[in-house]
Structure 1
Amino acid sequence: MKSKLLAISWVLIAPTISVIVLLFFLKSTGQSLVGSALAANNQESAPPLVTGIHPGSAPNDLDTTIVITGSGFTAVLSGAQVITTPVVAIGNNALLDVSWVSSATITATVPWGLDTGVYSVTVTNPDGLSSTLSGAFTVTQGIGVWTSDGPYGGAVTTILVDPLTPTTVYATVQAPYSASGIGLFRSLDGGEHWAMIFAEIGNQFHSADLSIPAPSVIYVDKWGEGLYRSENGGDTWVALPAPAGIGENLTPYAHPTDPQVVYAASDCTPGCGGVFRSDDRGAHWSDRSSGITDTQVTALAFDPANPLIMYAGTSNGNIFRSINGGSSWIFNGQPDQFISNLAVNPFGSHEVWAAGADSSGHWGYLWKSSTITWTQVLTATGLENRATSIVFSQAVSGTMWIGTLQGSLKSIDGGNTWEPIGAPAYSINALAVVQSNTQVLYLGSNGQGVYMTTDGGISWVEANQGLAGIYPTGLAIHPENPAVVYATAHGPGTFMTRDGGGSWLRLPSNNAWPRSPVVDPFNPRQVYIGTTNGVNITENDGQTWNWVVLDSPPPYSSCRVELLSILPAGQPGHLVAGVGFIDNSSNSYSFVGGGIYTSTDYGQSWGYVDVGQVISPAAVLASDPNHPGTLFAGTGSCCGNSGTGVWKSVDGGASWSPSGLPVQQITGLAVDPYNSQVIYAASLEKFYISYDGGAVWALKATQDFGMDKLLVVPTIPPTIYQYGWRGMIRSTNGGQQWDRADGSLGYAKIGVMAAHTEEGRVVLYAGTGGGLSSGTVQSEYRDMFSAEDLIGGGVYRNTIRLPSHFIYLPVLQR
C-alpha cells in the first residue's frame, strides 16, 4: 500500500515523469497498467470535457449524489482497481466520494451546508488537465425551511373536467380512510401536474362543481364554514353567505345551463337540511325543500334535456323528484339505505340512476328508475358490482361508465351489459370523461390518487405529480443516512425515499393499514411495519416482505391484535411492540384491552408479556438513549377508562411495572437525551414531566386540544416538539415555555414527526395532512388567502444547523 501511495504522490507532483516511474514500479512488482487513460509515453494528453450534470440542482441540507457526463475523464487503474480518480469541484468546494465510472461518466457527492447560488463544475484529471462547465449546478435553500415533494396520491373524492378547456381538470382530495379533507387541486395540462388551489376541503363527495357554460366559475364547500366561489378557475375566492344559516355539510351543484343559478344540498341534522337555490351565484339563497320529507340531502341531479326536472337523494336512501326547478318535490322511491350519487340519462326515457350505500356509508349497488319503481342493475360480481360513480356520454346514446369498489366498467347498451375498461382494480371514488374525446378518462381512487387513460382504457398511468393528498401515519429514518426515509399512510401503504423526499417509491408491502415503521439500528436493510394481526418485515430495503402474525394470548383469544407501536430494545434482534386487542365478535372498532409483545429474533417470532393486570392499548413507546434496555410504554383509552398510564421496563421489555399517571391516556412519550431521570409525557392536551425516572409526575403545561404527540431532539438544551392536528409547537427550556414552531407547518395538521441528529445538523421530517400556514382563525380568512398559505399533505423536511459544540445522540422516538 505504501508503494502505491508513493506512486500516486509522484503522479500529483510530476505527471510527465510519473508515468515512467509508475510503469517501472508496476513492472517490478509483476502488476500491469490496464485501462489507464494516462499516456504511456511523453505525448501530451487531451483535456477532459464536461457536458452535463444530473441532477442540476439540490438543496443545501443533504448530501446529494450527482452524475457528471462528458468525455476524456481519466483515472489511474491497477487492473480493475481505481488508484487515482479525477478531482471534482463545485465552485471552490472539492466534492466527496468521487467515483470514475468511465471516460464519459463520473459520480460524486455534493456535501450539505453549501451556500445557495449557481456554481460552475470543474473536473481535473490526474494529469492536471481540467474542464469547467459554468452555471452547471444550483444549490437551493434547504436549511431552516420546510420542503416537500410527495409522496403524492390520496383519496380523490371528485374529478371535474372543464368542458371548454378539457386540459383543465379539478380534483378534491381527502386523506384515505379519514374524514380529513386535504384540498382542491387543479391541473392545467390534462393531469400531468397538479397544484393545490384551496385547502382543507374534499372530505365529502361532490364538494366542488363547475358552472356551465361559465367554466371558470367554481363552487366549493369547506366543512364547518360553508360555500366559497371562484370566478377565475380557482386563483382567488370569495366566501358566500350560508343558506338558512347552515355552515356545514353543504354540497354545491351548479345549474347545467344558467351560470347565475347554483343549488346547495345540505345533509346536516334532521330538520335543518334540504335543498337551497341561488339566482345570483350564491349571494342570496331561497329554501327549495318543499315536499322533501327527508331533508338530509346527499345528492342532486338535473335532467340534461330539461333542467327543471331534478332529483334529490338522501342519507336515508330516499329519492325525491321535482319538475319545476325545485319549487316542489314528490317522493320517488327508496332504492337503498343511502344515496351517494345520482345521474340522469341524456337519451331515451331519461331514466334516473343512483349509486347507493348502507347506513354506515359502505357502498351499495347500482339502481335505475323511470318511475317510482327502482330496479337493481347487476354490473358484475363481487366488488365490481358495488357502484360509486356514474357518468353518461353526452354524445352517444347508451354509452356510460361507472366506478366501482374494484375498478371501472363501461356499457354501450344503456347498462344492459358491462365490460371492464382495463383500469387498476382499486376502489374508485370518482370518474370523469372528457366529453369531446371519450378516449380520455380520469379515475379517482380511494388512496392511490388519479389514474388516466388517453386510449379508452387500453393503458392507464398514474397522474399524481403534485397531488399532495397523502396524510402519513408513520415515519422512520435510516440510522446512517438521513436521506433514506420510510413513510406509511393508511390506504396507499408504504413509501420509501433515498433522496430526502425528492422522489418516492411505493413499496410492495401489501399492507393497507401500515403504522409505526422502524428501521433496525443493527441491520438497516431490515424494516418493520405494524399492521392488523402482526408485523410486516423486509430484509432487503423493501423489495420483498413477509408477514409475521402476533397470536392473541389466552385472555384475548377471541380478539384480533392491532399492532400500534414498535421499538428496538437495545440489543441486536430485540424488539418491543405495543398492541391493542379488538373483539372479533363486535361490529365496532373498539379496543377491549392492550398488551406488550417482545421478539429476540428480529421479529420472526413474538411472545406476549404478562404485566400482571389488564392495561389499555400500548399506543406509544420510548427508550432511554443512554440505557437502551430501559423502555417506557404509554397506554391509551379503552374499556370504560381514560387509560392505564405509563409503564416502565429496565430489562429490554421482559418485565414491566407501572410508572405513574395511572388514569391518564398517554399520547406521547420521550426520555431526555442527557438525563435519564427526566421523562416527558403528553396526555391529550396536557404535558407532564418526571424528574425521577417516572416515579412522580408534574403537570407543566396545558396546550390547545389537538397537540398530543411528542418528539424530543438532542440539542442543547433539548428541543421538545408537541404536535397534532392543530399544528406544531416547541420548547427549548424543558417545557416551561412554548412557542409556535417556525415555518410553514406551525399550523398544519401534523400526524407524525421524526428526527435524525448528527454532527452539525438535525434533520426533521414531518408527515402532514396540510392546511394553511398562516394559522389565521378559519372564520377570519373566509374572504382571502394567498397561494403561499396553502399546505398540501405529504412528508416535509427541515434541517436545522447546530453549533459545533453540541454532543449528538441518536433519537429513538415513537
Structure 2
Amino acid sequence: MKRLTYCRLAGVFLAVASTCAAAQDWQPLGPRGARVSALVAASGNSSRILAATENGLFLSIGEGQRWRSTAVGLFATGGTGIRLLAASPVLPLQFFLLDSGGRLLRSEDGGESWAPTGYVHPAFDTPVAMTVTTDGLLISHYSGVLRSTDVGATFAPVADLPAGQPMGVMAINPQQPQVVLAGAFLGPFTPGDASLYRSTDGGTRWTPLAGLPPGNVTEIEYVSDGSTVVSLDGAVYRSTDAGQNWQLLFQLSGGRVVRVEAGTVQLLLTDGRNCFRSSNFFATAPTSCADGLPQWEWGSAGFSTIEYARSLNGAPRVLINARRYGVLSYNPYANSWSPNGIELFGVPTRGLAIAPTDSNWILTGHWLPHSDNEPLRMTRDGGEFWQYDLGRYARAIRSIEFDPTSLAGGPDSTRIYASGVGFSAQPVFNNSGVFKSSDGGASWQALDSGLPSSGDPPRVMIGTVRKVKLDPRSCAAPPPQGPCAAGPLDTVFALAEGGSDAAYRLIRSHEGGANWSGVGASLPDAIVGSDWSEYVLPIDIEMDRSGDAIYVSLFGVYYNDDGTPRIPSSASGVFRSSDGGSTWAASNTGLPLVGGSATTTRDVFALAVHPRKAGVLWATTAEIGQATRIYRSDDSGAHWTAAGAALDNCDVRDLQVDPAAPQVLYAAGFALNQSNGCVLRSEDGGTSWTPLHAQLPVAAVYEVRKDPQNSRRLVVASDHGIWSVEAPGDRIFDDVE
C-alpha cells in the first residue's frame, strides 16, 4: 500500500502522497550579477557590505567577492523595491532602508531582518539621500532635508538648510563623528546658495561653505591627513581648513572620487570607464587604473555608488555598482578591476525556455524595463556562460518559446519566439515587443507587420506583450490529436495590453509572425466612469489537445480615483474560443468571484491543459494578497470545480503538467508573508500539494519547467535568476509499498 504522510507549510498541513520532501539542494544557474542601485559598508572594522538591487537585498561578508540574498521575501508582495540604504556610523550591525513604497525599515542584525520604524515618506516627494549620524537620521528629498532623533519613528524639517534644495550626499567625518557635510543635488536650485553645507552637531544646525562653484556634489571623502575631498560635476576639490577654502585638483566628467586605502592619502577617481589614481592629490600626473573596467557599448557605466570596503583580512577594496556585473572591485595592489559577481544572483528573470533536445540550452528574459538593458539571456552550457542580446530591440523580455518542430535541423535553424517590451528610441524606435530568431538566437527580428502604429517614423502601440504562444497543431499536416512532429508551426498568438485598440490585446499570426491581426475584440472591454476605471487583460493562453478549443485567462485592474477599493462588475476569468481564436466566450461557471462582486471572476494568472485528454484543464484563481486555489474542468471549461484546498501563503503565477505523468502538476509563485517563493508539486491532479521550495533563496518564482532530459530535475525562473533542483521522486514512479 502507498503511505500517506503530511508536510507542514506556513503553519498548515498539506496532505501529501509519499514522504515529506526534505530541504532541497537548489543550485543557481545564473545569470550572475544584478542591477545594483547602492552599496553600503558597515561602520567600524566590520567587513559587512549590503547591496541594494532592483528586486532585493544582498549581503557580503568580506570584500564583496561572495554574496547571498538576505531578507528574502521582504519586498515580494507588491513588487516593492529599495530606494535608499544607510549604515550607522557607530553601530556596525544597524542599517536603515527606505523602500519604494516610502516605508522606512531598520535592521539591528546587519541586514538579516528588518522592522518598520513607523515612518512612511510622502508619495509625492522623491527621496534623494539618507545618512545616519551620531545623533539621528537624515533623509534628503526635493522639499529639503528631514531629521529624526527617535531612530526613524518621526521626522521634522532641518531649519538651516535651504527649503526645496535636496542634498545628494551627506557624509560623516569618521574622526569627528559630529561633523557632517552635505552637498547640493544637481547644484543649488536658487542662485547664490552654497553647494556645500557643514554641521558640527550631528545634523542639527548647518552653515554654508563658500569657495566651491555651483554644481552637483556626488562624493565627499575625508582623507587621513585631515583634509576633505569633494567631487563636484566631475571636478575634484580639496580643502585643508574644514571647508573654508578649496583647491581644484583634477577634472573627469562624471567622475567620482574615493580614498584607496585607510591611513593614506591615495585617491581614486573614476567615471566607470576611465580611472585615475594619485598619491599626492594630483600634484603630478596620476596613474591609470582603468584595467578591467568594461568599455560599455552604451557609453558611461552609469554607476551611482563608489564605496571603500575591506576584506576579512583587512585588505582594502574599492567597489562600484556596474550594470549587469552588479559590482566591480578594485584591487589597489594589482591596480585592476574585476567583477565581484560570484554568487550575486539578482537578475529578475521571466520567460524560461529549455530546448527539448538539450537541457543545457536555456533562454530567459530580464523582465524589468530599462533603457540600457540587454534583456535576453541565453546559455548553451547549463549556465556557466550567458550571452546577452536584444539590447537594441527590447527593454524587457517576459516570454520565450521554442518551435519544437525546428530542432531536428540543429541549433542554426532552430526558431525561437520572444515577447516583452519593445525599444522606444533610435535607431529602432518603438517596435511590437514580439521577436523571432530563425537561427537559434544568433540574430533576431521584430515582428511588427499588421499592428497599429502612429507617428513618424511609426511606433507600434500595443504595450507590454506578456506572452507568446505557438499553436502546437499549426503545421501543414497536423495529426488527428496532439502536437505536430514536423513543422514549422505557423500560428502564433501573443497577449498584449492593446494600446488604443482593445482588439490587439490578443494578436494572431498564421504566418509565423510575418503578419498579425487583432483577435481580442470579443474579450471584455474597459469600463471607465467619471472617477473610476476597470480594465481586464489577457495573461495566459493554452491550446486543447484536440485542437478544437483555445483558452485565455484574464486578470483585472480595478480602481477608484480616490484610492478606495473598488468592487468590479467587469467580466473576467477564463474565455474559450472554438474558431481558432477569432471569437471568445466566457467559460467561468464554478470559478469564484471577486469579493463583493456578483459578476467578476477572480484573476486567473495561469492555465494548464492535460497533454493526453481533450477538454481537461486547470486554472489558478486568486485575489491580490490572498492564497491561490486551483480549479479543474473536465468539459472544456464549461464547468469548474475546486481541485483541492487553497495553497496557503502562495500566490501562484505558473502551472505546469508533467507530460509523462499528467496527474502530476507543478505550481510556482511568490509567498504572501515575507518568506521564500513557492514551488509545489501535486501527484493527484491538484488535490494535495508538496512544497519543494525549502532553501530556495528567492522571493518570487515566475516559471517552473521540467528538464526534458532528466525527469527528476526542475528549473525555475525567479526574481533572483535561474535555479535548479533534483526533486525527490514522486509516487507515480517511486511508490512506497
For this structure pair, what is the TM-score category when the shorter chain's length is used for normalisation? 0.5 to 0.7
Equivalent positions of 1:117-516 (< 5 A) are: 145-159=25-39, 168=47, 170-175=49-54, 180-181=55-56, 183-188=57-62, 190-196=63-69, 199=72, 203-204=81-82, 207-209=85-87, 211=89, 217=93, 219=95, 221=97, 223=99, 226-230=105-109, 242=117, 245-246=118-119, 253=131, 261=134, 263-266=136-139, 274-276=146-148, 289=158, 291=160, 299-303=169-173, 307-312=177-182, 321-329=198-206, 343=220, 346=223, 350=228, 385=254, 391=258, 399=267, 401=269, 403=271, 407=273, 410=276, 421=290, 423-424=293-294, 425=296, 426-433=301-308, 441-454=318-331, 460-490=337-367, 491=373, 493-498=375-380, 501=383, 503-510=384-391, 511-516=394-399
Contact persistence 1:681–1:689 (CA under 8 A): no
1:529 aligns with 2:418: yes
Q: Give SS of 1:767's match.
A: strand
TM-aligned CA deviation for residue 466 of structure 1: 0.9
TM-aligned CA deviation for residue 522 of structure 1: 1.1
Quote the sequence identity (%): 15
Q: Deviations over 1:562-605 (max 9, x none)?
A: 3321112113232222222457xxxxxxx9874233344544x2
1:573 aligns with 2:512: no
1:606 aligns with 2:606: no
Equivalent positions of 1:544-693 (< 5 A) are: 544-551=442-449, 553-554=451-452, 559-561=460-462, 562-570=464-472, 571=474, 572-574=488-490, 575-582=492-499, 594-603=504-513, 605-613=514-522, 619-624=538-543, 626-627=545-546, 630-637=549-556, 645-650=573-578, 653=581, 655-660=582-587, 665-673=603-611, 674-685=613-624, 687=629, 688-693=631-636
Task: Kindly provide the amino acid, as one letter, of the partner of residue 584 in structure 2.
Answer: S
CA distance in 2, matches of 1:343, 1:321: 12
Task: Kindly provide the amino acid, as one letter, of the partner of residue 405 in structure 2.
Answer: F
Task: Kindly provide the amino acid, as one letter, of the partner of residue 573 in structure 1.
Answer: L
Q: Deviations over 1:600-620 (max 9, x none)?
A: 4544x2312344457568643
CA distance in 1, matches of 2:306, 2:113: 28
Q: Give SS of 2:343's match.
A: coil
Contact persistence 1:667–1:708 (CA under 8 A): yes
CA distance in 1, matches of 2:636, 2:184: 56
Q: Give SS of 1:761's match.
A: coil
Greater relative contact order (Cα < 8 A, sep 6+): 2
Unaligned runs of 5+ in 1: 1-140, 256-260, 356-364, 584-590, 771-792, 807-814
Unaligned runs of 5+ in 2: 1-20, 76-80, 122-126, 190-195, 368-372, 423-430, 475-487, 526-534, 560-567, 589-598
Q: Give SS of 1:154's match.
A: coil
Task: Kindly provide the amino acid, as one letter, of the partner of residue 493 in structure 2.
Answer: V
Q: Give SS of 1:627's match.
A: coil
Q: CA RMSD in A?
A: 5.5
When residues 506 and 210 of structure 1 are mapped into structure 2, their CA distance, relative to the original with a 3 A threshold, is: farther
CA distance in 1, matches of 2:665, 2:184: 50
Q: Deviations over 1:226-252 (max 9, x none)?
A: 32234xxx5x9687894xx43889987
TM-aligned CA deviation for residue 707 of structure 1: 0.9
CA distance in 1, matches of 2:538, 2:235: 41
Task: Kindly provide the amino acid, as one letter, of the partner of residue 388 in structure 2.
Answer: L
TM-aligned CA deviation for residue 199 of structure 1: 4.3
Contact persistence 1:439–1:455 (CA under 8 A): yes
User: What is aligned with 1:72?
Assistant: none
CA distance in 2, matches of 1:184, 1:450: 11
Task: Kindly provide the amino acid, as one letter, of the partner of residue 58 in structure 2.
Answer: L
Q: Deviations over 1:138-188 (max 9, x none)?
A: xxx99964333433210223335689989x57241423xxxx22x232153
When residues 743 and 339 of structure 1 are mapped into structure 2, their CA distance, relative to the original with a 3 A threshold, is: farther
User: What is aligned with 1:65?
Assistant: none
CA distance in 2, matches of 1:340, 1:706: 45
CA distance in 2, matches of 1:749, 1:198: 9
Q: How many residues align?
A: 592
- Which of structures 1 and 2 has the bigger CA Rg? 1
Q: Deviations over 1:729-748 (max 9, x none)?
A: 64748887665723326895
CA distance in 2, matches of 1:629, 1:599: 18
Q: Deviations over 1:22-72 (max 9, x none)?
A: xxxxxxxxxxxxxxxxxxxxxxxxxxxxxxxxxxxxxxxxxxxxxxxxxxx
TM-aligned CA deviation for residue 693 of structure 1: 1.7
CA distance in 2, matches of 1:470, 1:560: 27
User: What is aligned with 1:50?
Assistant: none
TM-score (ref. length: structure 1): 0.58
TM-aligned CA deviation for residue 270 of structure 1: 8.6
User: What is aligned with 1:59?
Assistant: none
TM-score (ref. length: structure 2): 0.63
Contact persistence 1:537–1:546 (CA under 8 A): yes
CA distance in 2, matches of 1:643, 1:411: 64
CA distance in 1, matches of 2:706, 2:116: 48
Q: Give SS of 2:205's match.
A: coil
CA distance in 2, matches of 1:227, 1:458: 36
1:712 aligns with 2:656: yes
Q: Deviations over 1:115-144 (max 9, x none)?
A: xxxxxxxxxxxxxxxxxxxxxxxxxx9996
CA distance in 2, matches of 1:529, 1:372: 58
CA distance in 1, matches of 2:74, 2:274: 25
Task: Kindly provide the amino acid, as one letter, of the partner of residue 209 in structure 1.
Answer: A
Equivalent positions of 1:705-784 (< 5 A) are: 707-714=651-658, 715=661, 717-719=663-665, 721=667, 723-724=669-670, 726=672, 727-728=677-678, 730=680, 732=682, 741-744=691-694, 748-756=698-706, 761-769=711-719
When residues 238 and 553 of structure 1 are mapped into structure 2, their CA distance, relative to the original with a 3 A threshold, is: closer
Q: Give SS of 2:357's match.
A: coil
TM-aligned CA deviation for residue 443 of structure 1: 2.4
When residues 514 and 709 of structure 1 are mapped into structure 2, their CA distance, relative to the original with a 3 A threshold, is: same
Task: Kindly provide the amino acid, as one letter, of the partner of residue 723 in structure 1.
Answer: G
When residues 174 and 707 of structure 1 are mapped into structure 2, their CA distance, relative to the original with a 3 A threshold, is: same
